[in-house]
Chains A and B, each alone.
Chain A
Amino acid sequence: MTSSMLFNATTIAYMVSMVVFFAFLATKNKTIGLTGSLLAYVGFAAQTVAIALRWKESYALGYGHAPLSNLYESVVFFSWTIILIYMFIELKYKYRIVGAFVVPFAFLGMSWAQLGMQSGIEPLVPALQSNWLLYHVITCFLGYAAFAVACGISIMYLIKAKSEESGGGSAGGLMSMFPPIRVLDDLNYRAIMIGFPLLTLGIITGAAWANYAWGTYWSWDPKETWSLIVWFVYAAFLHARFTRGWVGKRAAWLSIIGFAATIFCYLGVNLFLSGLHSYGSSKM
């Protein structure tokens, strides 16, 4: 068995999980909901093994590095962390339906990686040959994933709030399966509460690494700047929430804007802007 077969299995598991979750939304059948969750867990297990295998395969090729070194590997890891944070929230707060709004992000990531990207294992360029790679990437992506989950929850919030405004909420329809909006609002905050310290750690480990490798802990490179922009947005979210009572819709919108900035920081910077993170150039 190779990691790439398992990654394909993962993608399929997430796709089926997503479809089953949509069926769960339509039927409200508890067994279907459970199936959706289990499928996501199976996909997660396969993906975990696949990542470990890919790591091992890189040793067999003589490169020997953690599978976190290029866009393909990072998107795969991002999907993995999204499901990890989702599992944490589901097991802790018992709202299975959140999966219908979170698993699609993971599926989107996996299918993009599997269908649209070069998946070959490449050796590490000199700039990435450091243990900081592991600490930096893991903290950043756990943070990103928490923001992805917060974004999914915020979308649920806005849907539910809209249906309640138009008076369709209490009839026992689809909306009855959504957690109460108060709970959604709280979950949004809790996910950001996980993500913000992780993003902070990610920025700090990145700065420490930059200082160690280049002698500058901060050089206003587009990636650094965008991570700071994301940090500002969520800092604004927290201050607005704690001290000015920004809850509900406004908090949900800020969370969605924050995740849009996160995605730009992660992908947009690499695709549209150039800088220290565009690996593969001749820069050391």
Chain B
Amino acid sequence: MATTDRSFVQSLWDFFCSLKLTISLLISLALTSIIGTVLPQGKLPPEYVASISATKLQIYSKLGLFDMYHSVWFIALLYVFSLNLVCCSIKRLPHVFKFISEPTLVLGESMRKGFSLKQELSFSASLDKGREALAEFLGKEFAAPVVTEQDGEYHLFAQKSAWCRLGVYVVHLSILVIFVGAIIGSLFGYKGFAAIVEGSSVTSIQAHNGAEIPLGFGLRCEKFSVSFYDSGAPKEFKSILTVLENGQPVKGLTNVRVVVNEPLTYKGFTFYQSSYGQATESSDHTFTVKNRSGAVVDHVTLREGQGTTLKDGTAFKLLETTADVRQFMPNFSGPAARVEITPKGKQAQTFIVFKDFPDANAQRGDELQFVYEGSNAKMYTGLQVAKDPGVWVVWLGCALMVVGLYIAFFMSHKRVWIVVSKGYARMYGNASKNQAAFQMQFEELSDKLKNLKI
């Protein structure tokens, strides 16, 4: 029985150490990941639900395909991938460490045949003299050598950047570090949403799972505004926010401008501009009435559909208003109102007055001109809120990965041996990568060796 257990454990170990598994996992992850980019994820749109059969819908949801990146089987794939990474590294790292810490100091006859890069040198001085001169040469031109005597020959061994053989393991480690960061984030972090009406404040946010998370401080929206390019494309979504501690504004965090790509961070929570809307509907609209010389003659405040009579007897009726007129009149933007003006004893006329285009307003009306001052309707700003204590671990992993890839791809372990015999010496060299570049370096070294006078 003991042997079967042992062989079972052994074969399990071998399975998790195998590179066939690595390649199968990489390809499985690539192929299965496609599903989530084709099927809708998360909350299903009703059109989609209507478009597929009930059986399919049931099978897909059972398989977790509508939230596949968080499904049990996909997470399991990632765990097996991590396990594979760890096992491979545990299996191979000791060999690599041994390779680095116990290099091949002595080059036996049979090993010498395997080198494509070699150079010979004859010299007349004694063996010891030759050894000294060549050791000095290597130390000066390449790296300080280790000298070993064997069978009446001296073996000089020198190496450069042996540690770069660890580069690939740095990359493997970095993947695990990123996973750890992601796990920390999912365990201790929050993702949520806050909608704050202009002039009001919140002390908690709504997590994506529906829970209410207290912030421990207050956040007030002073103002929200949208600006547009001439072409009509949005230019900026801007919230003016103030952080409150015990209801009092915090110094330095009062009237902070928050736009897309410029979030606000306080006590680990970060607030990102994400959406907006109008919070209150039925509200009062204010107009200023001026005469042709520009003097203010009247102020009017009323609701949509209401009418009033001005001092000079002109009937004024507010037909409708909009917070942004762009959708109806592409050349204008901002709040606007459609009004019906009936000067005493004359025909009624209907036109639009703007908040932000006084020149356009001046062209309307007869003796009187009207300026829309806006309404007391309030906007709300929608903020994505995130607290992710794992994010720095993720960035650490990313930095490790970049460094590791650089080492693994662009640095190489270079080794040079000189075997000194009586009367002649032979130099050998190799590199773990980029043999062509090392060849040039070796040839340069060979030229210097040939000119050496010993």
Q: Residue of B at shortest CB range from A273?
A: B37
Q: Residue of A at shortest CB range from B261?
A: A130
Determine if B231 is an interface residue (Cβ-Cβ < 8 Å). Answer: yes
Knowing A126-B261, A220-B41, the reply to whether A197 touches B402 (Cβ < 8 A) is yes
Please, what's the 1-or-0 string for B364-403, where 1 marks a CB less than 8 Å from any CB in chain A?
0000000000000000000011101001001100100110
In the bound complex, residues from chain A placing their C-beta under 8 Å from that of B233 are: 122-123, 125
Q: Residue of B at shortest CB range from A204?
A: B398
- The answer to whether A193 touches B236, judged by C-beta atoms less than 8 angstroms apart, is no
Q: Residue of B at shortest CB range from A240?
A: B23
Q: Residue of A at shortest CB range from B41?
A: A220
Contact of A273 among B20, B33, B38, B234 (CB under 8 A): B38
In the bound complex, residues from chain A placing their C-beta under 8 Å from that of B401 are: 200, 204
Determine if A177 is an interface residue (Cβ-Cβ < 8 Å). Answer: no
Determine if B354 is an interface residue (Cβ-Cβ < 8 Å). Answer: no
Nearest-neighbour CB distance to chain A for B180, whole angstroms, equals 14
- The answer to whether A236 touches B263, judged by C-beta atoms less than 8 angstroms apart, is no
- The answer to whether A284 touches B274, judged by C-beta atoms less than 8 angstroms apart, is yes
- The answer to whether A229 touches B386, judged by C-beta atoms less than 8 angstroms apart, is no
Please, what's the 1-or-0 string for A253-284, where 1 marks a CB less than 8 Å from any CB in chain B?
00000000100000001000100000000101
Nearest-neighbour CB distance to chain A for B407, whole angstroms, equals 11
Knowing A239-B22, A284-B237, the reply to whether A214 touches B37 (Cβ < 8 A) is no
- The answer to whether A123 touches B229, judged by C-beta atoms less than 8 angstroms apart, is yes
> Which size bracket describes the interface of B in this complex?
35 or more
Interface positions, chain B 269-321, Cβ under 8 Å from A, are: 270, 272-275
In the bound complex, residues from chain B placing their C-beta under 8 Å from that of A208 are: 395, 398
> Which size bracket describes the interface of A in this complex?
35 or more
- The answer to whether A123 touches B231, judged by C-beta atoms less than 8 angstroms apart, is yes
Interface positions, chain A 75-124, Cβ under 8 Å from B, are: 122-123
Determine if A45 is an interface residue (Cβ-Cβ < 8 Å). Answer: no
In the bound complex, residues from chain A placing their C-beta under 8 Å from that of B231 are: 122-123
Nearest-neighbour CB distance to chain B for A215, whole angstroms, equals 3
In the bound complex, residues from chain B placing their C-beta under 8 Å from that of A269 are: 37
Determine if B63 is an interface residue (Cβ-Cβ < 8 Å). Answer: no
- The answer to whether B261 touches A129, judged by C-beta atoms less than 8 angstroms apart, is yes
- The answer to whether B260 touches A284, judged by C-beta atoms less than 8 angstroms apart, is yes
Please, what's the 1-or-0 string for A46-72, where 1 marks a CB less than 8 Å from any CB in chain B?
000000000000000001000000000
- The answer to whether B406 touches A197, judged by C-beta atoms less than 8 angstroms apart, is yes
- The answer to whether B23 touches A239, judged by C-beta atoms less than 8 angstroms apart, is yes
Cα–Cα distance between A226 and B34 once the two chains are bound (Å): 7
Determine if B26 is an interface residue (Cβ-Cβ < 8 Å). Answer: yes
- The answer to whether A236 touches B30, judged by C-beta atoms less than 8 angstroms apart, is yes
Nearest-neighbour CB distance to chain B for A248, whole angstroms, equals 17
Cα–Cα distance between A125 and B38 once the two chains are bound (Å): 26
In the bound complex, residues from chain B placing their C-beta under 8 Å from that of A63 are: 229
Contact of B272 among A122, A215, A282 (CB under 8 A): A215
Please, what's the 1-or-0 string for B16-53, where 1 marks a CB less than 8 Å from any CB in chain A?
00011011001101100110111001000000000000
Cα–Cα distance between A87 and B321 once the two chains are bound (Å): 61
- The answer to whether A225 touches B402, judged by C-beta atoms less than 8 angstroms apart, is no
Please, what's the 1-or-0 string for A195-231, where 1 marks a CB less than 8 Å from any CB in chain B?
0110011001001100111111110101001101100
Please, what's the 1-or-0 string for B227-264, where 1 marks a CB less than 8 Å from any CB in chain A?
00101011111000000000000000000000111010
Knowing A201-B402, A284-B237, the reply to whether A214 touches B26 (Cβ < 8 A) is no
Chain A facing B: main interface SS: helix
Contact of A214 among B30, B41, B384 (CB under 8 A): B384
Contact of B37 among A122, A196, A201, A222 (CB under 8 A): A222
In the bound complex, residues from chain A placing their C-beta under 8 Å from that of B37 are: 222, 225-226, 269, 273
Nearest-neighbour CB distance to chain A for B358, whole angstroms, equals 23
Please, what's the 1-or-0 string for A237-256, where 1 marks a CB less than 8 Å from any CB in chain B?
00110011000000000000
Knowing A126-B234, A235-B26, the reply to whether A211 touches B391 (Cβ < 8 A) is yes
Q: Residue of B at shortest CB range from A198?
A: B405
- The answer to whether B235 touches A126, judged by C-beta atoms less than 8 angstroms apart, is yes
Nearest-neighbour CB distance to chain B for A217, whole angstroms, equals 6
Contact of A225 among B23, B36, B229, B235 (CB under 8 A): B36
Nearest-neighbour CB distance to chain A for B400, whole angstroms, equals 11
Determine if B69 is an interface residue (Cβ-Cβ < 8 Å). Answer: yes
Determine if A9 is an interface residue (Cβ-Cβ < 8 Å). Answer: no
Sorted from nearest, which 9 A-B pairs have the closest CB atoms? A215-B386, A232-B30, A126-B260, A222-B37, A236-B26, A130-B261, A197-B405, A123-B229, A220-B69
Could you list 18 further interchain pairs (A-B, Cβ under 8 angstroms) beyond the known A232-B30, A284-B237? A63-B229, A123-B231, A126-B235, A126-B273, A127-B260, A200-B401, A207-B394, A208-B398, A211-B391, A213-B263, A214-B274, A215-B191, A215-B263, A215-B384, A215-B388, A218-B182, A229-B30, A239-B23
| Contact surface of B with A, Cβ cutoff 8 Å | 19-20, 22-23, 26-27, 29-30, 33-34, 36-38, 41, 69, 182, 191, 229, 231, 233-237, 259-261, 263, 270, 272-275, 384-386, 388, 391, 394-395, 398, 401-402, 405-406, 409
21 A-B contacts, Cβ less than 8 Å apart? A125-B233, A126-B237, A126-B273, A197-B405, A200-B402, A204-B402, A208-B395, A214-B272, A215-B263, A217-B391, A220-B41, A222-B37, A225-B33, A233-B30, A236-B23, A236-B27, A239-B19, A239-B23, A273-B37, A284-B273, A284-B274
